[in-house]
Structures are given as structure tokens and as C-alpha cells.
Amino acid sequence: MSKIFRELLKKVGSGQHTKENLTRTEAALATQMMLLGEATPAQIGAFLIAHRIKRPTGEELAGMLDAYEQLAPKLQPIPDSAPVMVLGIPYDGRTRTAPITPITALLLAAAGQPVIMHGGDRLPTKYGLPLIEIWQGLGIHWNALSLEKVQQVLAKTGIGFVYTSKHFPLINSMWEYREQLGKRPPFATMELIWCPYAGESHVVAGFVHPPTEAMFQKALEIKGVTKFTTVKGLEGSCDLPRDRTAIIGLGTPGAPLERLHLVPREYGFTSKNVPLTTPAQLIADMQNILAGKSGEFMQTALWNGGFYLWRCGICSDMQEAIGKAETLFTSGAVAAKLEQLIGVTTSISETQLSPTSSSVAAHC
């Protein structure tokens, strides 16, 4: 048993009237001790549920991010004038609404805006459809690539994916606790603003509850992150809703958080979210978008693509951005980006798995 960790546990789990928040340093230490297995399973389980009940603070989230910076891998800076946009999405996936994020990423990359995503497999507590499976359906097998190979793909195509199950295996043990506890711990909140990129970035984080956004803002402020976007999105993702006003927070250097409300009908979109049916149908619908075919899911792609083209500065206003998004889809530019991504990842994956010429020669 770790006596050091026991003291940290006592602070967050001492009850309604005597509980205490951790300092940034203490939160970093607690996170490191859990990831490295220096605390016992009983201590880890107790901490996760007590911390959830107490609710994390922005300072604690900042400390947790400090621990990830110490232990997690990062993609290195690529030569590009624009900050890389990092999309933070719940790792346990989607169950109700059709995700558009991979299409948004392809659109942004086709327009010259590099994008990084991160996540793992089907995970508790929702066991929803994760990004890795969607990419596989589109022909991209990030799970077959080492982090070094992902770095090459990012440099060549403007898209990267940190597959945490492989690239950051220390966190795999934490999913067992989520399954056994049946609740998301604060780790799941922190992951939404984690940035696995060492260069200049623009963090985009989805959220469900307003207090979460406030925690994000405080944690990012402590970390010195001034360029970020928060989205009250579908199922906590970065996908803008169509059935309600999109509530968005715009973080810019040297200015307080700016609140933006986007009403879909004001831009000609109907108030309807596309439901998630089956993975196969989702991939078929995405292929229709890439082929430039109109429909409800294309409307979702234009709504989201337009916002992100405007937000990253490629377009000066939403109307222009929506028009540009439509042009990129109908001209085949987004489909061409996917084909480029398939070609590059396939080539790199084959290089990674094939024997070297020296090893071949040694066996001849």
C-alpha cells in the first residue's frame, strides 16, 4: 500500500464537509501513481469514485494534464504555419447520433488545416462507436501504425491519430476501473482537453454540462493555453447539433472567453440530427458525402465543416465557410484527401511490417 497515495485519497474522500481539493502538484502525483500502478487497486478504485463525487477542479485537471505530459507520447511539430487543431472527443464513443468528426477532419486537411485526433477502442461506460472503427471503415488502419509512422502520415497528409490503446498503453488499465465502477472518472473529463502534440495547437473540446466547460477554461488557463474552442456538442463531442442552438466558447489570446450561439435554421439547415443506426450504414453515408451527394448527412457535414473552416481562419464568415465546404465536397477535394490518406497509411504500414533487406538477405 502506498502511504503517500493514501494521504491524497483522504483529501478527496473525506466527506461532504471535510473533503479538500488537491493542488496541481498533488493531482499530477496522484495521476502518475495510478498510471504507474504505484497505488493499490483498492486505493485507485476508491480515489476515482471519490474524485468523481467531489468533482474535479480546473487546477486538478491541470495537474492531471501535467502527468500526461510526463508519461504520454506526443506527436512532434510539423512544418506548417497554422496551429494543428486537436479534436477532443469522449473515448467511449457514440450510441445515439451519427458522428461526422472524421469527415470534418478530412475537409479541414483538404483546406490546408492540419488535424489530430486521439482515442482507443470500444470502452466503458458507453461502449459506443469509437473513431478508430470509423476510420477503419473508411480504409484507414491507425491501429497498424507506430507513433513514429503516424508522425510521417501527419507530415504528409495533415491528419494524425494517436491510438491510445497502442501508443499510450499505460492508460489501458484505467478502463478496467471504469468498467467495474460503472461511472466515468475525472480522467474522462481531462482527456477531452489533452493535447498529444508538441507544437502550436488549437484545442477543441466537446462537453455536455456547463460546469465542465468552466473546468476546461480554468485548466487551460493554468496550462497557458490561450487558443481553444469548447463545443456543447452531440453526446459530448465536437460535432455541432442541428436540433438546437450550438453553444460554443471561443478562447483567444489576451481576451476573455467569447460566447457564440449558432442557430442552424439561420443558415438554412433543418433542426434534425442524423441518428446512428449501424456502423455499415454510417460508412455508406460518409461515402455519399465524399461523393458530393446531397442529403441529411451532407447537411450535417456542411454545418460542421463550415463552422470549423471559419473558426480556424480559412474563411472570414460562416456563409463563406459553408459555401467553401460544399465546394470542397462536390469538387472531390475531400474524397481526394481520403485517397491520399489511404495511400500513405497503406504504404507506411507495409513498410513497417515488411522485413528489411538485410534480414531478407540473412535468411537467403
237: cell is 463531442
- Residue at 353 is within a domain: no
User: Do 13 and 136 belong to one domain?
Assistant: no
**Structural domain span for residue 313:** 84-336
- Residue at 346 is within a domain: no
What confidence score (pLDDT) does residue 351 get?
75
User: Do 224 and 162 belong to one domain?
Assistant: yes
What confidence score (pLDDT) does residue 352 get?
66
User: Do 24 and 146 belong to one domain?
Assistant: no
Alpha-carbon Rg for the chain, nearest whole angstrom, is 21
User: Do 123 and 266 belong to one domain?
Assistant: yes
User: Do 89 and 32 belong to one domain?
Assistant: no
pTM for this model (two decimals): 0.94
- Nearby residues of 329 by Cβ (< 8 Å), 6 or more positions away: 107, 289, 290, 292, 298, 301, 302, 305
**Any idea what the CATH number is for the domain that residue 150 is in?**
3.40.1030.10
E strand segments, the chain: 84-88, 115-119, 159-163, 201-206, 228-231, 246-251, 258-262
User: Do 89 and 50 belong to one domain?
Assistant: no
User: Do 207 and 317 belong to one domain?
Assistant: yes
User: Do 215 and 171 belong to one domain?
Assistant: yes
User: Do 133 and 185 belong to one domain?
Assistant: yes
- Residue at 64 is within a domain: no
What confidence score (pLDDT) does residue 80 get?
73
Cα dist from 279 to 122, 224, 236, 275, 294, whole Å: 13, 39, 19, 11, 20
How many domains does the chain contain in total? 2
User: Do 134 and 30 belong to one domain?
Assistant: no
User: Do 180 and 308 belong to one domain?
Assistant: yes
User: Do 146 and 205 belong to one domain?
Assistant: yes
Mean pLDDT by runs of 10 across the 364 residues of the chain is 92 89 98 97 96 96 98 93 93 97 98 97 95 98 98 97 97 90 93 97 96 96 96 98 98 91 96 97 98 97 98 97 98 98 94 49 36
